[in-house]
Structure 1
Amino acid sequence: MAANAVAIRIAVFYAAIFTVIGLRMPFWPVWLAGRGLDPGEIGIVLAVGSWMQVAAAPWVASRVDRRGERRKVLAILAAAAALGYALFDLADGFLAVLVVAGLVAAVFTPILPLGDNIAMLAVSRYGIDYGRARLWGSISFTIAATGGGLAIAGQSERVLWLIVAAVAATAGAALLLPDIRTRRQRDRIGALRVLLADRRFVAFLVTAGCLQCSHAMIYGFGTLHWQGAGLSAGFVGFLWAESVVAEILFFVWGRDVLARIGPLGLLAAGGAAGLVRWPLTALGSDPLTLALLQPLHAATFGAAHLGAMTYIAQTVLPERSATAQSLHSAIAGGIAFGIAMPVAGVLYGQFGGAGFAAMTLFSAAGLVGTWWLWRTPGPGGP
């Protein structure tokens, strides 16, 4: 299969899965509220995804690495997730919704890290540009999050079936992915145990987690703070769009930056940008200042993400790579945010926008971790 065809198929997969995320993130709580769940119950249902991201995704990935087959498993998971979401239509009451949410999360949370794994294996095998394939995920997320509101038009029950359709499309896109396989593992130790016994890899997970959870305050309370400071909803929307556009532009040229400074250089760039972005964001809500700061998302998220994906690809054996991707997803997207979000809530409650400054500590910790990885002998270091 030609490299261009592989890149297009991976881009289609990212467009499909991020359409799901772009619909689910802003609109799924609306559907849950329409089913009569109160805010506390909605919070519990949403938390199931984070719990399963930590529990289910690495377990599934370790089995995938043991068998060496990825595409078939990914398509089955996506098809099961589409059926699972359809079951929500039959769920009546909090407990029923919670049970279905747990079942759906168990099959949905492994999908993105397994897709990332196939993409990074394709980078090694076919020489594709990961950033230019991944940017279609950012584009589709933006379209889904903005266009979804128009499609729903106040009819919250439509949310569920839009998500079902998008997850089904993800299953179809998974079938189009290249069938990249790795050799079967015949040892009894297992990829999970090997990776978690590697102090460099554990240090990398902590480093990447710190860099990503430095966004906890802005993800959780950015809109609330800016609107409370008197900024219009339109301008707040512009700020979010600006950050996504910056992320997309980085992914367009990220391969050239990666070639110059390597994955650890990208991680360091993400941390250094955070040392600028978060304390200045804490100073106030001046529109011009915020408009100048939001493009730093290209570094705090984009560079850190590309650096993490590439670090895994360059330092982990292919037959353990799915487990490594899922552990990264579980730590950076699950445990780290599970810790950082409550902290951000307390800080915002006590200090308001000044709490953004505390996110600088996460960026600084990520920089220290990157320095340690650079100084410690092993893959990716001296």
Structure 2
Amino acid sequence: MTDLLPRRRLSGFYFFWFAGLGALLPYWSLYMRDRGFSAAAIGLIFGILLGTKVVAPNVWGWLVDRYGGRVVVIRLATAGAALMFLWVPFVDGFLALALLMAGYGFFSNASIPQFEALTFNHLGSRSAGYSRIRLWGSVGFIASVAALGPLVDTGGTGWVVWWMMATLVTLFVVSLSVPDAPGSRETAHGEALWTVLRRPQVASLLAVCFLVQFSHGPYYSFFSIYLEDHGYGRSLIGGLWALGVMAEVLVFAFLPAVVTRTTLRQLMLTAVALAALRWSLLAAAPDRMAIVVLVQVLHMASFGLYHAVAVSLVHRLFRGPLQGRGQALYSSLGFGAGGAAGALSSGFLWDVLPHHWVFVMAASAAALGWVIAWLGLRGVGMVSAPDYNASSDSRAAAAADR
């Protein structure tokens, strides 16, 4: 990227996409509980939202990698997500809400994997700059949480729906200004997807992504309810969500300097180990404010560090015309299948077991992910600096693969 304008547009898209998430994750479970939905129903709705990531990224990723038009897909997806969500305040009952959220998720979850691939194509040989563009998504999340929290406290959770509408419409407008990038329309045939998936390192990486996001399923679905049940106010809950994303911003800001001193495998092992610690602490001491603050600070590892390393590894392992489907698989198997399985499991267990056991389950999933990463990612990212910074030689090889 040779000028600042595309960088600002890319950053703006991340800002508003994650601003919507800043309304959805902290407050949607509270909104549904206020509307009378049970814990099982809340878990199922979150499971549906996350489950759409299994289908949507792969459908749209296959179309883009085969026919091109990545920017067109991003614009259609953002428009579709906004149109689906506009109906939410006007429906009653679980089935109607579930169908709308499934439609919203199908479109919303189509846009971000393609946007990740578009961002890397824009960056070209300077892919280390990804984290500094992506951090604007974290800033958007924080801004949304901070602004919406007082509104929810004083005016109720109905504000969440209208806030989501505003961010989705703005996101669509921003998407119209995002330029295409060299390579985003490449349709040349390279290595077969199945050949890449059969590699043990690739299979191990996808398994780790599934388990890490499974461990986040209870957090996304019930963290706000868990804290409210332990006496935390809704503004404070929003502040704790924002704290976690502030910690994530630090990772995205400083990771390019850190990654040159270690390997991607070691960073992944660190991220997954700290994820297991995070859920263990949340299970053990939700009443202790200092522990909950630490739990949220650890978001820098369980999401920020994990995500930055994972997308870098996916970009390295899925080359040429498989980039879009590689990012789609990462999203669908991790955030989609893993997150949905974690949300559904926690929803069904929430009213059956003491609530802290749901987070013990999350910690166990992360611990298993660490074992798989330790055994299966040997040799991945061993030369981390050239890989993360995407040297001219590696980028030329990627272009040749296309």
Give the TM-score taking structure 2 as reference length: 0.80
For residue 373 of structure 2, what is the aligned residue in structure 1?
Answer: 370
In structure 1, C-alpha distance between the alignment counterparts of 2:221 and 2:89, rounded to whole Å: 28
Deviation of 1:89 after TM superposition, in Å, equals: 6.0
Q: Percent identity?
A: 24
Distance 2:49 2:267 in 1: 28
Please name the residue that 2:11 is paired with: 11
Q: Does 1:286 align with 2:288?
A: yes
The verdict on how the C-alpha distance between 1:92 and 1:282 changes in structure 2, with shifts beyond 3 A counting, is closer
Counterpart in the other structure of 1:72:
72
More off after superposition, 148-157 vs 19-28: 148-157
Say if 1:51 and 1:79 are closer, same or farther in 2 by CA, change over 3 A.
same
The answer to whether 1:356 aligns with 2:359 is yes
Match of residue 396 from structure 2 = none
Q: Which residue of 2 aligns with 1:263?
A: 264
Deviates more, 1:309-318 or 1:97-106: 97-106
Alignment: residue pair count: 378
Q: Where in structure 1 are there 5+ consecutive unaligned residues?
A: none
Equivalent residue for 1:310, pick from 304, 309, 312: 312
Alpha-carbon contact 2:146-2:238 (below 8 Å) kept: no
CA distance 1:123–1:264, change in 2 (3 Å): farther
Displacement of 1:67 after TM fit? 2.1
Cα gap change, 1:41/1:214 in structure 2, threshold over 3 Å: closer, same or farther?
closer
Aligned mates of 2:288, 2:41 — CA distance in 1: 36
Mapped to 2, the partners of 1:294 and 1:117 lie a distance apart of 29
In the alignment, does 2:330 pair up with 1:341? no
Q: Structure 2 CA distance, aligned partners of 1:335 and 1:227?
A: 27
> What is the deviation of 1:99?
4.1
- Pair 88,282 (structure 1): closer, same or farther in 2 beyond 3 Å: closer
**Structure 1 residue 248 displacement after superposition:** 1.2
**Structure 2: which amino acid aligns with 1:309?**
V
Bigger shift: 174-183 or 55-64?
Answer: 174-183
Deviation string, structure 1 residues 177-215 (Cα, Å, up to 9, x no partner): 341234643559974x45544443222111122223333
Gaps of 5+ in 2: 384-402
What is the rounded CA distance, in whole Å, between the counterparts of 1:357 and 1:27 in structure 2? 23
1:179 match: secondary structure: coil
Give yes or no for contact 2:48–2:101 (8 Å, CA) kept in 1. Answer: yes
Amino acid at match of 1:283: A
Moved more, 117-126 or 223-232: 223-232
* Alpha-carbon spacing, 1:24–1:340, altered in 2? closer, same or farther (3 Å): closer
Measured in 2, the distance between the counterparts of 1:283 and 1:30 equals 23
What secondary structure does 2:180 align onto?
Answer: coil
Q: After TM superposition, give the deviation of residue 131 of structure 1 in Å.
A: 1.6
Residues 202-241 of structure 1 mapped to structure 2, 5 A cutoff: 202-230=203-231, 236-241=237-242
Which residue is equivalent to 1:245? 246
In structure 1, the partner of 2:391 is none
CA deviation after TM superposition for structure 1 residue 246, in Å: 1.2
Separation of aligned partners in 1, 2:33 and 2:238:
23
Partners of 1:164 and 1:108 lie apart in 2 by 13
Letter of the 2:342 counterpart: A
Q: What is the CA–CA distance in structure 2 between the aligned matches of 1:166 and 1:308, rounded to whole Å?
A: 27
| Counterpart-to-counterpart distance in 2, 1:300 and 1:31 | 26
Aligned-partner Cα distance in 2 for 1:29–1:235: 16
Choose 125-134 or 38-47, whichever is displaced more. 38-47
Shift of residue 171, structure 1, vs aligned partner: 1.9
Query: Residues 106, 220 of structure 1: CA spacing in aligned structure 2 closer, same or farther, 3 A cutoff?
Result: closer
Q: What is the distance in 1 between the residues matched to 2:170 and 2:329?
A: 26
Are 1:169 and 2:170 counterparts?
yes
Residue 125 to residue 66, structure 1, CA distance change in 2 (3 Å): farther
The TM-score, its normalising length taken from structure 1, stands at 0.84
The 5 Å alignment of 1:118-133 reads 118-127=118-127, 129-133=129-133
134-143 vs 76-85, which moves further: 76-85
CA displacement at 1:350 relative to structure 2: 2.7
